Amino acid sequence: SAVISQKPSRDICQRGTSLTIQCQVDSQVTMMFWYRQQPGQSLTLIATANQGSEATYESGFVIDKFPISRPNLTFSTLTVSNMSPEDSSIYLCSVERQGANSGNTIYFGEGSWLTVV
Amino acid sequence: RKEVEQDPGPFNVPEGATVAFNCTYSNSASQSFFWYRQDCRKEPKLLMSVYSSGNEDGRFTAQLNRASQYISLLIRDSKLSDSATYLCVVRGFKTIFGAGTRLFVKA
């Protein structure tokens, strides 16, 4: 398994402001992943954070809106910029670890519950 | 068609009941399959991987049917604590999460 700590666990923010979410992993990993889960929806991958290079963003997500840092192999941050109520969501950090028989298993941090008012 | 589709739910069952969830996927090249459990206001956690031969973990049985491109999760002797949302996860070139099926187990 993996121990992943995220903070803040929840926050209420004013529209137009920005919030940075931190993610700390208990051991070194090559890739860290940021997901969003909007109310009643499934998880959507925002981007993959690679140490030493720019993050790789999925379709519909851009660096200006969701800048990501990856300063070392155990830490990453995701910033939600210029927030609007549509950004109210759970943001989840995740890593992958080798499973016993079926390839890599995904592990998630506790999530950051963001409400934009 | 969505890449991964799950039973819409919610499923409301009494304690002790047997309940089954299905999940279909569209990409025949998908390689790995999982069931995750997500409690209210919590992160998803791995429930079990799904192997080609099928696998069982206590009251939970997962099966894969590659020909028909679906996976299933069977829960026997449901407990109140089984109430949660169950997410189907399919991995190929990309990792796709299903929208989840909500289960409510009642006393």
pLDDT, one tens digit per residue, over B12-59 is: 999 999 999 999 999 989 989 999 999 988 999 999 999 888 899 999
- Select from B50, B95, B98 the Cβ nearest to the Cβ of A106: B95
CA distances to B14, B47, B81, B82, B84 from B77, rounded to whole Å, are 9, 16, 11, 10, 15
At residue A98, the pLDDT reads: 76
Kindly determine whether residue B49 and residue A41, on different chains, have CB atoms separated by under 8 Å: no
In contact, B87 and B44? CB cutoff 8 Å: yes
Q: Which residue of A has its CA nearest to B102?
A: A40
**pLDDT tens for residues A22-71?**
999 999 999 999 999 998 888 999 999 988 888 999 999 999 999 999 99
CB-count exposure of residue B27 (10 Å: 0-12, 13-18, 19+) = middle
A104: which chain B residues are within 8 Å (Cβ-Cβ)?
32, 91
A10 vs A60: CA distance, rounded Å: 24
Residues 16 through 35 of chain A touching chain B, CB cutoff 8 Å:
none
B13 vs B75: CA distance, rounded Å: 11
Residues of chain B above pLDDT 70, percent: 100
Q: Which residue has the higher pLDDT, B81 or A42?
A: B81
Beta pairing class for A43-50 and A56-57: antiparallel
